[in-house]
Amino acid sequence: MNIIKSDYILTIDDEFRIIKNGAVAYEKKIIEISSSFQELKQKYPQAEITECEKDSVLMPGFVNAHIHLEFSKNRTTLEYGDFLPWLYSVIEKREELIDGCSSECYEETIEEMLEFGITSFGAISSYGFDMNSCAKAKQKVVFFNEVIGSNPAAIDGFFTDFKARVNSSEELKSETFFPAVAIHSAYSVHPVLVRHVLKIARENRYRVSTHFMESKAEREWLDRSQGEFKQFFKDFLKIEKASSDPISFLGLFESLEPIFVHAVYANEEELAIIEKQKAHIVHCPVSNRLLGSRPLNLENIKSKEIPFLIATDGLSSNFSTNMFKEMRAALMQQSCLDLHLLSRDLLIAATKNSANALGLNCGSIEEGKDADFAVFKLPNSVENEKNLPLQLILHSNRADSVYILGEKIF
């Protein structure tokens, strides 16, 4: 048994309780939360005690639900500003970036996420090159084996390769490593291949993620087989028409409670389907800005029963995996939303909503949840706790300590 005491406990429970001078008793899971450190100590006299430094915030570790580790090598290589120029640059530099990033490079990114207080993440893996590093990670990892391929003649080959990766990830399954599947997108995966992959997801109860309506180009291609993707598909794949329409694509995900990444250009009809499917939307504001998307209409998403997540996306479309930087970007971008309410919503998005979407028993400090914590020391105290979410987002970077399944990692 252990007890940890902190000046502020940000529970992220349903009441968004912030407990001052509270303490948490835990083993692998959280056993009890108390506003009285003394009472908890008396109740569990054998417990090992940790007292966090003054002005520390104890909170659930972050859950970064969407990252592409295989592109971790990118810093200044890729073209930003618009989606198609970025995609062309990914294709051109793919080998250089992928070959330039081996286990060491994935593990550096994984380690840095830990330093940022990220205790779980969802890794979108295109090739499986990052699989062993993810299986060895100290964090919990939901490992999304991704399928891509719009060429109908090559479906069998893509599917065989996908199944081999799924089988390898099954062999690595553990208390902290969970195989899952990702469909790259509606424009890049043939609907027949989507069906095959989702059948496997249903049979194995895998979590499912897909990019959806990330760019204006995607909207125009899927609606009318027009726009900037027209030339792209003609040149690279000799394809003249989109093989999916967005409504039938979404329909394929029924009953999977899927994770739709971006949804910046999703329309009302599509959002109604997403809501009905009890699906989740992942918001990646930095990635959206760098790849030339408009800002997500978060006010509209919030008016529906669609839980939203915040994630960093890969270093192919971000300069950092720091969740605080991502939340600050959202705070600046979503300027029509109340600053304090948005700060609370972002912290929920980065913890509880992300854990729920990934099917993990963490993301809040509540009895029975896994003891996955991050501790951040504020520069000074915050008198009015209404200001704590905002001040935490503005002033935190690296965690002072991190715990996963009750074990202190650093």
Please say which residue, 139 or 150, places its beta carbon nearer to ligand BEZ.
150
Instruction: Select the binding partner of residue 148 from Fe ion, ligand BEZ, none (C-beta < 5 to 8 A, by kind).
Output: ligand BEZ
Least CB distance to ligand BEZ at residue 261 (A)? 15
Q: Is 348 within 8 Å of 110 (Cβ atoms)?
A: no
d(CA 385, CA 19): 9
Stretch that binds ligand BEZ, among 30-38, 77-85, 148-156, 306-314 (CB under 6 A): 148-156
Instruction: Select the binding partner of residue 214 from Fe ion, ligand BEZ, none (C-beta < 5 to 8 A, by kind).
Output: none
d(CA 346, CA 341): 9
d(CA 9, CA 365): 8
Least CB distance to ligand BEZ at residue 161 (A)? 12
d(CA 123, CA 166): 13
Residue 92 CB coordination number (10 Å): 13
- Which structure tokens are listed for 149? 């391929």
Map residues 183-222 to x or -, x wherever contact with ligand BEZ holds by CB under 6 A.
Answer: ----xx----------------------------------
Q: Is 150 in the site for ligand BEZ (CB under 6 A)?
A: yes
Please say which residue, 139 or 188, places its beta carbon nearer to ligand BEZ.
188
d(CA 205, CA 142): 13
d(CA 109, CA 321): 8
Distances (CA, A) of 125 to 85, 132, 143, 231, 353: 22, 11, 7, 27, 22
Please say which residue, 313 or 345, places its beta carbon nearer to Fe ion.
313
Please say which residue, 211 or 369, places its beta carbon nearer to ligand BEZ.
211
Least CB distance to Fe ion at residue 368 (A)? 32
Binding-residue total with ligand BEZ (CB under 6 A): 7
The half-sphere exposure of 172 on its side-chain side, counting CA atoms within 13 A, is 25
In Å, how far from its chain's centre is CA 251?
23
Instruction: Select the binding partner of residue 313 from ligand BEZ, Fe ion, none (C-beta < 5 to 8 A, by kind).
Output: Fe ion
Short-list 275, 273, 261, 331, CA closest to 307: 275
- Which structure tokens are listed for 150? 């719009």
Q: Which of 60, 122, 149, 389 binds ligand BEZ (CB under 6 A)?
A: 149
Stretch that binds ligand BEZ, among 60-68, 78-86, 103-111, 142-150 (CB under 6 A): 142-150
Helix or strand holding residue 50 (H, E): strand 48-51
Beta bridge partners of 140: 120
Stretch that binds Fe ion, among 153-161, 226-234, 307-315, 384-392 (CB under 5 A): 307-315
Q: Is 375 within 8 Å of 57 (Cβ atoms)?
A: yes
Residue number of the CB closest to Fe ion reads 313
Enumerate the active-site residues. Answer: 214
Instruction: List CB contacts of 228: < 8 A, sequence separation 6 or more.
Output: 83, 84, 217, 220, 221
Least CB distance to ligand BEZ at residue 125 (A)? 16
Map residues 315-354 to x or -, x wherever contact with ligand BEZ holds by CB under 6 A.
Answer: ----------------------------------------
Q: Which of 270, 313, 345, 370 binds Fe ion (CB under 5 A)?
A: 313
Interacting residue ranges for Fe ion, rule: CB under 5 A: 313
User: Interface residues with ligand BEZ (CB under 6 A)?
Assistant: 148-151, 187-188, 237
